Amino acid sequence: MKTIKPLFRFMLLFISIICSTSIINAQTSTTNFKEIKGKVVDSKTNDPLIFTDLVIAGSNISTITNSDGEFLLKIPNSIEDATLTISRLGYEKKEILISSLENNVKIELLQALTELNPIEIATYNDAKKLLRATLKNKSAVYNNENTLMTAFYRETIKKRRRNASLSEAVVQIHKRPYNTFRKDGIELVKSRKNTNYNKLDTIAVKLQGGPFSNLYTDIIKYPEFIFTDEDIDLYDFSFDESTQINQNMVYVINFKQKPNIATPLYYGKLYIDSESLALTNAVYSLNVENKELSSQMYIRKKPRKVDVYPTEANYRVNYRTQNGKWHYAYSNISLTIKVNWKGKLFNSVYTLNSEMAITDWEISDTKYAKVRENILRPTTVMVDEASGFSDPEFWGEYNIIEPEKSIESAIKKIQRQLKRT
């Protein structure tokens, strides 16, 4: 039977056996910067536009809107006269002078009218061939230099709708060229985490992999997790209605596993730039109909008297282009699991979510951190370190993903608890 590598693993542990180690938090000095908060919405419906890119022109400083369409961007005073570029799949790009922006700004984007050239459609009338061309073309359109990327990472665990665990970190990614098979590396800059074990009852859910899980959603760099040459033939592909990003036409490909394949595979949409054939976005999910097989993909460790299986597993990865070369920019993973204790009437439902956004980057041959403790590994499990929540300036000049309302409420609650201790 065909087996595939999971993009996401977790462990279920009895709370009594949980142990933790300390996290080293590198301190950063605060520099002068302008902080802008705002919201990006559809110009007609006023609906929030999630996963919208905001990039400072002439630099690699960037952020992305959260699930409420909100953003927070820290802009060095030295480039305050620059232009902010706002772009999203299916919408027209917008440019605004940073000097004209005020706090709590509302930015409206117009939906793009899409008309794909009939000649371009005729060129690729086979969706599978287009995907193969995209994967083969990565050396030409993706960054082929060693890159040092600064990223913000957040992971949450909810029991039903209530937050039980929140982890946040700034990391540096040693991104290897796309035309090599060398693996990327990650080192920790600073982090904070808080877990309310009372909300987790007698079970603690821990995510394994940390930022690596999100990094592995980079389909172009890591096709082995979803689209190897062999795996592609296990899927059916078809064209969907085309769309647009940054005034460029984008092919949309639907994919799903063939009906005769028993192994859980993925289904979703791929967005491919019609000119460069670069993958710009991918939104997909795992087929979890087979509970036993899909459970084996995600669970690394669990108590014997517990049945655990995923009910949803959703993924998103976004790419961004700079100077004609594309690179990984953002990814989001959301996994819902059901936990059944044998012999008990009721079950528990947990939602595990992690996201990572590139906020700055530079071409660099910098080697790994000299401090061994700062190097993260694919088996990393982030540990509890709540002290950072008491400091309102904890992140300093680092750009982060603006927390959605439920996370913001959780942070405020943690801060109140720390004040009482």
Which sequence spans correspond to the domains of the chain? 10-16+113-420, 33-109
Please determine, for residue 27, whether its predicted confidence score (pLDDT) is greater than 50. no
pLDDT at residue 379, rounded to an integer: 79
Measured distance between the N- and C-terminal CA atoms of the chain, rounded to whole angstroms: 54
Per-residue pLDDT reduced to its tens digit, 380-414 = 777 656 567 878 888 988 999 988 888 888 788 77
User: How far is it, in rounded angstroms, from Cα 336 to Cα 232?
Assistant: 26
**33-109: which CATH architecture?**
Sandwich (2.60)
pLDDT at residue 20, rounded to an integer: 36
Lowest mean pLDDT among 113-117, 150-154, 191-195, 268-272: 113-117
Higher pLDDT, 331 or 374: 331
User: How far is it, in rounded angstroms, from Cα 292 to Cα 300?
Assistant: 14
Higher pLDDT, 382 or 78: 78
User: How far is it, in rounded angstroms, from Cα 26 to Cα 189?
Assistant: 6
Q: What is the largest CA-CA distance in the chain?
A: 68
DSSP 212: H
Gyration radius from the chain CA atoms: 22
Contact 357, 184 (CB under 8 A): no
Instruction: Please compute the mean of the pLDDT values over residues 87-91 and round it to a whole number.
Output: 93
Contact 388, 190 (CB under 8 A): yes
Per-residue pLDDT reduced to its tens digit, 242-275 = 998 877 899 999 999 999 898 899 999 999 999 9
SS3 label, residue 28:
coil
